[in-house]
Amino acid sequence: MARILIKNGRVWDGDRFHYADVLTDGNTVAKIAPVISETADFVYDATGKTVSAGLVDAHAHMRGISTDKFGTQAELSCLPFGVTAAADASGENGNRELLESFLLKGVVFAKARFDNDRADFTKTKERLALFGDKAVGIKVYFDTTMSPVTSVAPLREVCDFAHQRGLRVMVHCAHSPTPMAEILQTLGAGDILTHAFHGGEHNAAEDGFEAMRQAQARGVILDVGFAGHVHTDFAILGQAIAQGIVPDVISTDITRFSAFTRGGRYGMTMCMSMARHLGMSEEDIFRAVTAHPAKALGKADGWGHLAVGRTADIAVLDFGEEGFYLTDKAGHRISSQAGYRCMLTLSNGQVAYRN
């Protein structure tokens, strides 16, 4: 197995930045020290770049796991963007074996349906059985354009169902029939609100972010779930950040529709660039794509940290000339000359992508 030495980078270990060299041996991180001069099979000079724990995408859609409508080729939409582990946020197809066949590390949320304001777990139970411990949560679409739902009553049923099984709930909340406060008050610590900064009816700004502030303090996880430009209102996310409500998690919600658009550059790095453009600090951004999503998915022991003895899942990112523009549904435009770009991705100590 190869030894890879990444020199002169700024290391993000999941908790803080510091300058160090990183040496891998086989599939594990062997050494992190200010100067490492041991020999290696491959030496990468990361001067001016960030050497991060492999990024974790808490909301993605993988071909064969999500529906054919949404699923996209898992490795191609993740590894070139530094993402080494992801959660499929609908889990309607496939099984544990398919997920394990990906080079990308993965878990799933199994979908529960709303039917006339009742929760229906028939399919959900089948999916949970097929994925075993790869299923970490239940996903619901609390969205009148996708589900027949008018109140939080069925969401309460979903929370009970999930929590009894040691699972978390991920709620898609755009086009909500109720104020966001009702959703947030129904969720418990560790449950995830995705598309938390959408600009549709009943968004977070409606009550001046008060419900969101209280829920986050209780441990409800706020996930951006960018979805390209579809499910995030740039003005609302910018206002939230300015008011001190920092998203816990930045995810892509990458699908067949957003992957490979914008010159093939839509992915986690573009989401990080948008967050930076809207005022998030670098520490908050890196935390929101490593340690926080790892913990939110119950994988803090394995993902989201760069440390000696851990699996060598590493993303080397550059910040520089990487222009992009996006317009959200409300017409707010982000146009930037600078952005993050993935230069090198190691998965299990092997070079999985090199720019």
Task: Output the smallest distance, CB 253 to Zn ion, in A.
Answer: 4
Cα atoms found within 13 Å of the Cα of residue 259, Cβ hemisphere only = 21
* Touching Zn ion, residues 6-35 (CB under 5 A): none
- Positive or negative, the CA dihedral 169, 173, 177, 178 is positive
Which range of residues in 111-119, 161-169, 207-215, 253-261 is near Zn ion by CB under 5 A? Answer: 253-261
Distances (CA, A) of 225 to 61, 171, 178, 230: 12, 11, 20, 10
Taking CB under 5 A as the binding criterion, the range among 31-39, 88-96, 99-107, 111-119 that sits at the site for Zn ion is: 88-96
**Cβ of residue 307: shortest distance to Zn ion, in angstroms?**
31
**Is the CB of 255 or the CB of 311 nearer to Zn ion?**
255
Tell me if 143 contacts Zn ion by CB under 5 A.
Answer: no
- The span of 87-95, 114-122, 150-158, 270-278 binding Zn ion (CB under 5 A) equals 87-95
Distance between CA 250 and CA 265 in Å, rounded? 17
The answer for residues whose C-beta is within 8 angstroms of residue 303's C-beta and 6 or more apart is 53, 54, 56, 84, 85, 105, 290, 293, 294, 297, 313
Report CA 34 to chain centroid distance, whole Å. Answer: 30
Q: Residues, the chain, total?
A: 355
Our finding on whether 89 is near Zn ion (CB under 5 A) is yes
Candidates 39-47, 84-92, 234-242, 281-289; binding stretch for Zn ion (CB under 5 A): 84-92
Nearest distance in Å: CB 231, Zn ion: 8
The least distance separating Zn ion from the CB of residue 116, rounded to whole angstroms, comes to 23
* Minimum distance of Zn ion from residue 110's CB (angstroms): 14
| Least Å from the CB of residue 335 to Zn ion | 25
Q: Which residue has the tokens 């598309």?
A: 195
- Which range binds Zn ion by CB under 5 A, 19-27, 81-89, 173-181, 328-336? 81-89
Query: In Å, what is the CA distance from 176 to each residue of 150, 187, 219, 250?
Result: 8, 15, 21, 21
Interface residue with Zn ion among 21, 223, 253, 328 (CB under 5 A) is 253
Q: Is 147 helix (H, G, I), strand (E, B) or coil?
A: coil
Size of the site for Zn ion (CB under 5 A): 2
For residue 342, the number of C-alpha atoms closer than 13 Å in the C-beta half-sphere is 31
- Binding footprint of Zn ion on the chain (CB under 5 A): 89, 253
